[in-house]
């Protein structure tokens, strides 16, 4: 049966990289037995300009009715002066919350050809394969109260609140344990239980779930600041890293550099089984290179691969797309961020050529 994929190209380099993934879907439909119909909607700053809001109710409904959603990126300096609820980023948070995709898988995989593109020495990153499981619909991104208030005398107060409930922690921990069981069985949970009650609850709930239901999982706990340091010191010590919304955002960008570039890292945001997943590169709209045709499309293409695996029942084609990216890199295809000279479209060409044989 035909599956549906909603593209939300968004802002900056979002449309540029998403266009390459769209080409791949076209090729897979024509040549590899994929049966996916693609539609597109405005999102982020592009939707603010046209519709007044970053995510219209119609687009959210379309997302929820699709089998998978592939997002490009949102944001840019032209919308950075708006109040928070009217910013492109607020649309992304609303989309994640509306789709209830609470578990964000961010694989940090070092392709063999890119072992020298990392800022770490080859021996530290060669063969690196870390899976971040980032909680995505809770924590300080969503906690109340929040806001900026005027205290008078020229003094203002900015407030955000870190909140987690035990069920929010357990449902994302379960995802991490299930994934780890299919890998090396090791999970490292990162929080700040030394200074935050929500961090202490996180540690206790993760441990309790492991003891009750996943005794075969080798669970360790690490303070998030130490995790940031250990990621650079000896990244191969990690397999699955389970962490909250904010720490997961920061640690996954850090890990991107271990693999060569932010332009290489995809993500899959998953919720309840049977509901659509949200797929997006972990990078942003890259205003510094937007509109120049220079962006690396690999993070978007690899996000499409995750959509094929987790939402479109075509794990076989996900493997093929990932292999095609590896082959294109082996053949020397490189955008500027990974030390080459190819533009976005030429990099897409290289992946398509590798896919075709
Ligand atoms: P960014 O990820 O957009 O860019 C950081 C750096 O990485 C820049 O130098 C950029 O050129 C480079 N880069 C990122 N993606 C690349 C790619 N595919 N190929 C080559 N180089 C790439 O982060 P930023 O500059 O801090 O944020 C810019 C805007 O993007 C902000 O408005 C921010 O809120 C937004 N943002 C959105 C998302 C998202 O949509 N998921 C993620 C992060 C940031
Ligand atoms: C990401 C981004 C987003 C986040 C922003 C744009 C809301 O940085 O997807 O990593 O912080 O989650
Ligand atoms: Mn981020």
Spacing, Cα 98 to ligand 3 middle (Å): 19
| pLDDT, tens only, 121-162 | 999 999 999 999 999 999 999 999 999 999 999 999 999 999
Q: Which domains does the chain have, with CATH numbers?
A: 1-104+274-356 (3.40.718.10), 119-259 (3.40.718.10)
What pLDDT is attached to residue 84? 84
| Residue appearing with tokens 């910013």 | 87
> 286 or 81: which carries more pLDDT confidence?
286
Residue 248's nearest CA partner among 299, 188, 179 is 188
Residue 137's nearest CA partner among 93, 181, 78, 193 is 93
**Does residue 26 register a pLDDT over 90?**
yes
Strands 277-279 and 268-270: antiparallel
pLDDT band of residue 85 (cuts 50, 70, 90) is confident
> What percent of the chain clears pLDDT 90, i.e. is strictly above it?
96
**Top mutation candidate among 90, 285, 287, 291 for ligand 1, by most atoms within 8 Å of CB:** 285
Question: What ipTM did this prediction achieve?
Answer: 0.98
Task: Tell me if 247 sits within 8 A of 285, measured CB to CB.
Answer: no
* Ligand 3 ion local residues (Cβ < 5 A): 249
pLDDT band of residue 83 (cuts 50, 70, 90) is confident
Instruction: Give the pLDDT mean for 10-15.
Output: 98
225 appears as a binding residue in the annotation = yes
The neighbouring-strand residues paired with 25 are none
Cα–Cα distance, 269 to 310 (Å, whole number) = 10
Task: Clarify whether 192 is annotated catalytic.
Answer: yes
63 alpha carbon, distance to own chain's centre: 17
84 appears as a binding residue in the annotation = yes
What pLDDT is attached to residue 89? 97
**Does residue 82 register a pLDDT over 90?**
no
What pLDDT is attached to residue 316? 98
Helix H, strand E, coil C: the string for 280-298 is: CCCCCCCCCCCCCCCCCCH
> What tokens does 259 get?
């693999």
Task: Clarify whether 182 is annotated catalytic.
Answer: no
User: What angle (nearest 5°) sits at the alpha carbon of residue 333, between those of residues 328 and 335?
Assistant: 125
287 burial level (CB within 10 Å; 0-12, 13-18, 19+): middle
Task: Clarify whether 253 is annotated catalytic.
Answer: yes
Instruction: Give the pLDDT mean for 291-306.
Output: 98
**Does residue 357 register a pLDDT over 90?**
no
What lies within 8 Å, CB to CB, of 225 at 6+ separation is: 192
Marked catalytic residue, from 49, 116, 211, 225: 225
Task: Clarify whether 67 is annotated catalytic.
Answer: no
What pLDDT is attached to residue 262? 95
**Does residue 170 register a pLDDT over 90?**
yes
Residue 125's nearest CA partner among 226, 236, 233 is 236
CA distances from 50 to 53, 55, 78, 109, 225 (A): 8, 11, 14, 37, 41
249 appears as a binding residue in the annotation = yes
Instruction: Give the pLDDT mean for 74-95.
Output: 94
Instruction: Give the pLDDT mean for 311-324.
Output: 98
């Amino acid at each position: 049966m035909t599956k549906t994929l909603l593209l939300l190209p968004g802002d900056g380099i979002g449309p540029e990289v998403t266009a390459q993934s769209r080409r791949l879907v076209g090729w897979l439909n024509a040549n590899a037995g994929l049966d996916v119909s693609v539609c597109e909607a405005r999102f982020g700053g592009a939707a603010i300009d046209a519709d007044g809001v970053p995510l219209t109710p119609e687009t959210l409904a379309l997302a929820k009715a699709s089998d998978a959603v592939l997002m490009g990126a949102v944001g840019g300096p032209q919308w950075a002066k708006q109040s928070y609820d009217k910013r492109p980023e607020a649309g992304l948070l609303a989309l994640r919350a509306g789709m209830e995709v609470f578990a964000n898988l961010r694989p940090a995989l070092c392709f063999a050809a890119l072992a020298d593109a990392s800022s770490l020495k080859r021996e530290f990153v060669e063969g690196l394969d870390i899976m971040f499981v980032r909680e995505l619909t809770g924590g300080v991104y969503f906690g109340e109260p929040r806001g900026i208030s005027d205290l008078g005398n020229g003094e203002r107060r900015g407030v955000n609140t870190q909140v987690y409930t035990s069920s929010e922690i357990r449902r994302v921990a379960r995802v991490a344990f299930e994934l780890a069981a299919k890998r090396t069985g090791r999970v490292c949970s990162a929080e700040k239980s030394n200074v935050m009650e929500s961090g202490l609850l996180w540690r206790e709930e993760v441990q309790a779930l492991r003891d009750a239901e996943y005794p075969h999982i080798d669970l360790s706990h690490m303070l998030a600041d130490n995790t940031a340091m250990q990621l650079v010191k000896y990244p191969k010590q990690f397999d699955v890293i389970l962490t909250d919304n904010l720490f997961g955002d920061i640690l996954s960008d850090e890990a991107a550099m271990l693999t060569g570039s932010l332009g290489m890292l995809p993500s899959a945001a998953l919720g309840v089984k049977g509901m659509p997943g949200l797929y997006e590169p972990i990078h942003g709209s890259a205003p510094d290179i937007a509109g120049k045709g220079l962006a690396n499309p690999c993070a978007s293409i690899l996000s499409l691969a995750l959509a094929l695996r987790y939402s479109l029942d075509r794990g076989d084609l996900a493997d093929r797309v990932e292999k095609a990216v590896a082959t294109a890199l082996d053949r020397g295809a490189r955008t500027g961020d990974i030390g080459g000279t190819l533009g976005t479209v030429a990099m897409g060409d290289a992946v398509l050529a590798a896919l075709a044989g």
